[in-house]
Amino acid sequence: MRAGKALDFFRKIPADLTESTALGAFFSVCAIIFMLILFFVELFAFMDTTYETSVILDSSLDTKLRINFNITMMDIQCDFIAVDVLDDLGTNRMNVTKDIEKWHLDENGVRKMWQGKTIYKEREEIVYETEEQHPYNLEELHRNGEHAIPLTQENFLPALEATTFSFVDFYAPWCIWCQRLAPTWELFAEDVEAKKDTMVTVFKVDCVEQRDLCNEHGIQSFPTLRFFDKSKPVFPDYMGDRTQAALLEFIRMMARRFGTHQNIPEAHRKVISERLSKPEHHPGCMINGHLDVNRVPGNFHVEARAKYHDLDPKNTNLSHIVHHLSFGDPLELHESRTLSRIAKEMTQMSPLDDKVFVNDAKHQAFHHYIKVVGTKYSIEAQNIKGYQMLARSQVMQYEEEMIPEARFNYQISPMGVVVKRSGRKWYDFITSVCAIVGGTFTVIGVIDAAFHKLFKKGTHY
This prediction's pTM = 0.61
Question: What is the CATH classification number for the domain harbouring 100?
Answer: 2.60.470
> Do the domain assignments include residue 440?
yes
Mean pLDDT for 370-398 is 90
Residue 35 sits in which domain range?
Answer: 21-49+424-460
Mean pLDDT for 111-116 is 50
Question: What is the CATH classification number for the domain harbouring 237?
Answer: 3.40.30.10
List, for residues 323-344, the tens digit of each pLDDT value: 899 999 888 877 888 888 787 7
Transcribe 363-386 into DSSP letters.
Answer: SEEEEEEEEEEEEEEEETTEEEEE
Cα 438-444-449 angle, rounded to 5 deg: 125
- How much is the mean pLDDT over the chain? 80
- Positive or negative: CA dihedral 396, 399, 404, 407: negative
In the predicted structure, residue 356 carries a pLDDT above the cut 50 = yes
> Quick one: pLDDT band at residue 406, thresholds 50, 70, 90?
very high
In the predicted structure, residue 389 carries a pLDDT above the cut 70 = yes
If asked whether residues 200 and 263 sit together in one domain, one would say yes
List, for residues 63-109, the tens digit of each pLDDT value: 899 999 989 888 888 888 899 999 999 888 888 888 888 877 765 55
If asked whether residues 400 and 292 sit together in one domain, one would say yes
- Specify the pLDDT at position 17: 56
β-partners of residue 300 are: 85, 408
- Specify the pLDDT at position 278: 41
Q: Which of 25-34, 79-88, 116-125 has the highest mean pLDDT?
A: 79-88
β-partners of residue 42 are: none
Q: 343-373: string of b/e by CB count within 10 Å (b at 16+)? A: eeeebebbbbeeeebebeeebebbbbebebb
Quote the CA–CA distance of 191 and 197 in Å, as a whole number: 11
Distance (Å) of CA 122 to CA 105, 183, 247, 250:
21, 27, 21, 21
Quote the CA–CA distance of 120 and 289 in Å, as a whole number: 14
> Quick one: pLDDT band at residue 257, thresholds 50, 70, 90?
low
> Do the domain assignments include residue 416?
yes
If asked whether residues 418 and 430 sit together in one domain, one would say no
313 touches 400 (CB < 8 A): yes
> Do the domain assignments include residue 203?
yes
**Between residues 24 and 39, the one the model is more confident about:** 39
> Do the domain assignments include residue 321?
yes
Percentage of the residues of the chain whose pLDDT score is greater than 90: 26
Quote the CA–CA distance of 168 and 188 in Å, as a whole number: 12
In the predicted structure, residue 14 carries a pLDDT above the cut 50 = yes
Percentage of the residues of the chain whose pLDDT score is greater than 70: 80
In the predicted structure, residue 137 carries a pLDDT above the cut 90 = no
In the predicted structure, residue 34 carries a pLDDT above the cut 50 = yes
Lowest mean pLDDT among 224-228, 357-361, 380-384: 380-384
177 touches 234 (CB < 8 A): no
If asked whether residues 60 and 42 sit together in one domain, one would say no
Transcribe 105-148 into DSSP letters.
Answer: E-TTS-EEEEE-HHHHHHHHH----BPPPPSS-HHHHGGG--SS
If asked whether residues 322 and 418 sit together in one domain, one would say yes
β-partners of residue 420 are: 52, 378
Q: How many domains does the chain have?
A: 3
Lowest mean pLDDT among 212-216, 240-244, 315-319, 343-347: 343-347
> Do the domain assignments include residue 398?
yes
In the predicted structure, residue 136 carries a pLDDT above the cut 60 = no
If asked whether residues 105 and 149 sit together in one domain, one would say no
Domain end residue (candidates: 257, 277, 297): 277
Quote the CA–CA distance of 332 and 432 in Å, as a whole number: 39
- φ/ψ of 51, rounded to 5, equals -125, 135
Mean pLDDT for 254-275 is 50
Please choose, from the candidates 388, 417, 374, the residue with its C-alpha nearest in 3D space to the C-alpha of residue 325.
388
If asked whether residues 93 and 165 sit together in one domain, one would say no
Distance (Å) of CA 258 to CA 166, 221, 227, 240, 274:
12, 26, 11, 19, 14
Tell me the Cα Rg of the chain: 39
> Do the domain assignments include residue 132?
no
Give the count of beta carbons closer than 10 Å to the beta carbon of residue 142: 13
- Specify the pLDDT at position 248: 87
77 touches 305 (CB < 8 A): no
If asked whether residues 97 and 69 sit together in one domain, one would say yes
- Specify the pLDDT at position 64: 92
Neighbour-count burial of 278, counting CB atoms closer than 10 A to its CB (0-12 exposed, 13-18 middle, 19+ buried) = exposed
If asked whether residues 180 and 260 sit together in one domain, one would say yes
> Quick one: pLDDT band at residue 366, thresholds 50, 70, 90?
very high
List, for residues 212-232, the tens digit of each pLDDT value: 999 899 888 899 999 998 888
If asked whether residues 293 and 382 sit together in one domain, one would say yes
If asked whether residues 154 and 262 sit together in one domain, one would say yes
In the predicted structure, residue 119 carries a pLDDT above the cut 60 = no
Please choose, from the candidates 16, 38, 40, 42, the residue with its C-alpha nearest in 3D space to the C-alpha of residue 444.
38
Mean pLDDT for 228-253 is 86
If asked whether residues 428 and 418 sit together in one domain, one would say no
